[in-house]
């Protein structure tokens, strides 16, 4: 049973009660996330490993295709699709909270079944936002650095961090990226676990998720920044840190969802 404190409540969409999330609730959710990971570590390691492998393959492909300068914006934007990768982790936490022992067949069959449910549409939303992020990077490079190509990742970093135009590009890119990340975080943080557990359409789920974030803006924004920075840091050593960081945050998000949006 999720152990969370009670807080102020507000009406949500279709009568859904939304609780105010406090710092204590975040810490408790993180504690429960670590507990779930330790109780079923193989699920987290496999799902985190798949996510890390995809990231490594894409980085290798960019290098082979002669686009190494895209590695940095890709690494920054890659966490945007993290919530969708955590669907299996949500199911593991749900079963553990219900006193059940998660089985590989049950968890992955449920994940596979989402292709016919509303969750599958969220994948398009997240990939679309990720595409916008990568496109605006190309646009900002053209605006601030000109129509140039970079022979290596090191050359790209030198131009970005050692020139005035590069620093302006870096600032503008992070501002635009921050706005995109905030929007995606607000519409997905609770909508995906909500659609996984309940029969609710994607629009209702996204609106409810945004309302829940607005109910506790400072705390939820802090949580989003903390998760994003942690995932980016975990991606630096060949994405290997995601084997632990992704499952812990996935489990923690489930418990935070169950507190913020009680049934």
- In a domain, residue 5? The reply is no
pLDDT of residue 14: 57
pLDDT in tens, 30-89: 999 999 999 999 999 998 888 888 888 877 877 777 777 677 677 766 666 667 778 889
- In a domain, residue 10? The reply is no
The C-alpha atoms of residue 73 and residue 56 are separated, in whole angstroms, by 14
- In a domain, residue 46? The reply is yes
- Percent pLDDT > 90 in the chain is 31
The C-alpha atoms of residue 31 and residue 106 are separated, in whole angstroms, by 25
- In a domain, residue 186? The reply is yes
- In a domain, residue 140? The reply is yes
The C-alpha atoms of residue 152 and residue 171 are separated, in whole angstroms, by 21
- In a domain, residue 8? The reply is no
Q: Which range of residues forms the domain containing residue 97?
A: 16-260
The C-alpha atoms of residue 183 and residue 186 are separated, in whole angstroms, by 5
Number of domains into which the chain is organized: 1
- In a domain, residue 181? The reply is yes
The C-alpha atoms of residue 21 and residue 221 are separated, in whole angstroms, by 11
pLDDT in tens, 110-133: 777 777 777 778 877 877 887 888
Helix axes 87-97, 23-39, angle to 10 degrees: 90
pLDDT in tens, 12-45: 555 678 999 999 999 999 999 999 999 999 999 9
pLDDT of residue 85: 73
pLDDT in tens, 154-189: 777 788 888 888 899 888 888 888 888 888 889 989
- In a domain, residue 177? The reply is yes
152-182 residues labelled b (16+ CB within 10 A) or e (exposed)? ebeebbebbeeeeebeebeeebeebbeebbe
80, two tokens: 């945007």
């Amino acid at each position: 049973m999720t152990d969370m404190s009670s807080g102020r409540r507000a009406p949500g969409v279709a009568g859904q009660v939304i609780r105010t999330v406090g710092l204590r609730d975040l810490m408790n959710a993180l504690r429960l996330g670590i507990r779930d990971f330790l109780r079923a570590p193989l699920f987290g390691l496999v799902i985190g490993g798949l996510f890390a492998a995809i990231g490594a393959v894409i980085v290798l492909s960019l290098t082979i295709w002669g686009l190494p300068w895209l590695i940095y914006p890709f690494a920054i934007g890659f966490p945007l699709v993290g919530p969708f990768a955590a669907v299996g982790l949500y199911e593991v936490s749900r079963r553990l909270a219900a006193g059940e022992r998660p089985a590989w067949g049950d968890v992955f069959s449920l994940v596979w079944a989402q292709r016919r449910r509303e969750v599958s549409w969220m994948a398009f939303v997240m990939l679309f936002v990720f595409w916008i992020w990568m496109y605006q990077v190309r646009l900002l490079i053209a605006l601030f650095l000109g129509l140039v190509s970079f022979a290596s990742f090191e050359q790209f970093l030198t131009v970005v961090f050692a020139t005035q135009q590069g620093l302006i590009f870096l600032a503008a890119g992070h501002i635009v990226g921050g706005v995109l990340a905030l929007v995606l975080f607000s519409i997905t943080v609770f909508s995906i676990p909500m659609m996984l557990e309940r029969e609710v359409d994607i629009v209702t789920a996204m609106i409810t998720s945004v309302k829940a974030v607005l109910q506790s803006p400072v705390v939820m924004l802090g949580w989003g920044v903390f998760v994003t920075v942690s995932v980016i840091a975990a991606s630096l050593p060949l994405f290997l840190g995601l084997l632990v960081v992704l499952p812990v945050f996935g489990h923690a998000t489930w418990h935070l969802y169950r507190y913020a949006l009680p049934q």
